Amino acid sequence: MNSPPTKEFNTHGVCVPTRHYCLPPAPRLPAALKLVDQEKYFSLRAPRQSGKTTLIQNLVNLINEEGRYYAFNCSLAPLWGLTDRQKALTELAALINSALAASPLTALKLKAYVYNSQPGSVSASSIVKTLLNGLCEDLTKDLVIFFDEVDSLAWSGLSPFLAQLKEGYQSRHLPGLKFPRSLILVGQRDLEDCLAEAPAETKSTDAPRPPLNVPTISLALANFSFEDLSNLYGQHTAETGQVFTPEALTATYNWSQGQPWLVNALARQVVDEVLNHDYEREITSAHFDEAAFALIDHHDAPIQFLLERLKEPRVITVLDPLLVGSPRQVFLNDHDRGHCLSLGLMAQDSGGGLKFANPITREVIFRLLADQIQASLDNEYALIPWRNETTLLLSEILTNFQAYWRDKGAGVALKTDRLDLVASDILKKELAQLLDAEISNDLLYQYIIARINDLLIREYDESLPALTLLAFLRKIIATGARFLVDCHEGRGGIETRLFFEGGPYVMEITRKPRSTLERSLDRLKASLTQTNSKTGWLVIFDPDRALSWDEKIYNRTQTDGDLTFNVFGC
């Protein structure tokens, strides 16, 4: 009889080795300890729920256990939203002292509050450097500090913080001066991207440039490899005797792409919910498929986090064309793409293009956006017949959608009216400059209106037709079938698979002029071959306003050998 576990798969907070299955820190980031030995200052970045905090706390413990250096971790998360430079740096110094006081090392505890100034009594330009210099003065070992959530600092605090680190770094080997051996700045975003958000007035030729050369090296924390995932799940097998089949391991890696929170959440869902703690049963790929759909349905906190991100104008700018597989839009300073990568919404494929970070994230994004449209659809559409015994009436559903799109499609919109603070500041400064310029009132008026529309409103325009079709399908079918979608940058369309009574029903959704009929049929043919299906559906949206609805709306059938294509124009 298999034994119940004493540990569990962790999906909340930092992993504790005595309570949770977890991986050793050093193999996941082998360069970190080497860089510490080399006295380097470096940054470490990874999206939310990637295990950053668990990793750095374990590295701190490992360094302290080895005994060559002292190490501690200080989170800057409480500084989020502080824009006052003096207050931010004063609070930062207080956080360092609190972290020292919480250290299990007596030598560091005794150094807590070596610098306990009152707010405003010391210049923000020297407070952190003075504190760290005093901290290192009479320690018997070199000091290593991990600053977690460093991107919580607003630009007004981040720039002087880096400037003081740079000054301490450059002078640390001078007689009488000491500074930490190694500093590691940890966060979601690359520091260069954070510093790129500097207010416009600081970017003039007279303003000092941000100190981008501290830290000198930037590392990205990778997701779990397949071997990492297998080792983590192997800990559960070793403790309980419960076996994961090879197909199960492949399935969970395909669903999660090694994203640490998802790797743990999928296993937890299977063990606790799908199998209800029955450790005698073998875990199969079907169990992980069921768990993945449950995570998509549940909207747990990390998934709910996506909803707010989808409202951000800079996310919409990148996500809207990606949702329909449009080609990459190239910009010289593409910080919006970097922002989406740092959020964990997207990843880069082998060719440098964008794709969704993993299938679960992709499904959640499509569902969250389609939900907004679905909620606006009349309940009468839910009464449209969609099945005949064991057959999904997909052609009949698409015919009804053509009628809906013709009559009401023009009234569908999916936009955000949230004006982010960065855009607001930019707009104010541009208007102030224009009001002093000697240009005509008409030109000024036209420019102001264009900028307001651009900055205040971001709309899911290119992907709106496809999202509306998906919302329409979900309104009619409700929970009667499962949906899976797939697309990536440059694909040219969306592949949709509907699973009903065994399925799948394969559909390609595309939009002119992004893809020709021939390319769309080629993609559909490849999908049918992959799923061993003989019939597919192709929906083509044509945004050309010069065409009448009679020219846009059509339904025809084409064949290619033993394959049948049902083509619907919208």
Q: pLDDT at position 200, please?
A: 46
Asked whether the CA dihedral 56, 57, 62, 68 is positive or negative, the reply is: positive
For residue 259, the domain's CATH number is 1.10.8
Asked if the structure places residue 11 within a domain, the reply is no
34 and 101 share one domain: yes
Q: Which residues contact 310 (CB under 8 A, 6 or more apart)?
A: 316, 319, 365, 368, 369
Burial of 449 (C-beta count, 10 Å sphere; 0-12/13-18/19+)? exposed
Q: pLDDT at position 390, please?
A: 83
Q: Which residues contact 257 (CB under 8 A, 6 or more apart)?
A: 223, 347, 357, 358, 359
| Rounded Cα gap, residues 447 and 444, in angstroms | 5
Q: pLDDT at position 437, please?
A: 54
Asked if the structure places residue 19 within a domain, the reply is no
Asked if the structure places residue 141 within a domain, the reply is yes
What is the reported pTM?
0.81
Asked if the structure places residue 403 within a domain, the reply is yes
- Could you tell me the residue range of the domain that residue 42 belongs to? 25-220
- Among candidate residues 456, 486, 511, the one where a domain is terminated: 456
407 and 422 share one domain: no
470 and 422 share one domain: no
123 and 187 share one domain: yes
Asked if the structure places residue 548 within a domain, the reply is yes
| Number of compact structural domains in the chain | 4
What is 207-229 written as a DSSP string? SPPP-TTSSSEEEEPPPPPHHHH
- Helix, strand, coil shares of the chain as percentages rounded to 5? 50, 15, 35
pLDDT single digits (tens) 473-508: 988 887 778 888 998 888 889 999 998 887 799 999
| Rounded Cα gap, residues 67 and 69, in angstroms | 6
Asked if the structure places residue 52 within a domain, the reply is yes
For residue 202, the domain's CATH number is 3.40.50.300
133 and 205 share one domain: yes
Q: pLDDT at position 342, please?
A: 81
275 and 422 share one domain: no
Q: Which of 522, 510, 515 is nearest to 558 (CA)?
A: 522
Asked if the structure places residue 12 within a domain, the reply is no
- Among candidate residues 245, 263, 298, the one where a domain is terminated: 298
Q: Residues in the chain with pLDDT < 70?
A: 1, 114-122, 192-216, 299-303, 329-333, 413-458
209 and 141 share one domain: yes
Q: pLDDT at position 193, please?
A: 67
Q: pLDDT at position 170, please?
A: 86
424 and 452 share one domain: yes
- Among candidate residues 298, 321, 352, the one where a domain is terminated: 298
DSSP SS3 for 258: coil
203 and 281 share one domain: no
Q: Which of 221, 230, 240, 311 is nearest to 281 (CA)?
A: 240
164 and 55 share one domain: yes
343 and 383 share one domain: yes
340 and 425 share one domain: no
Asked if the structure places residue 6 within a domain, the reply is no
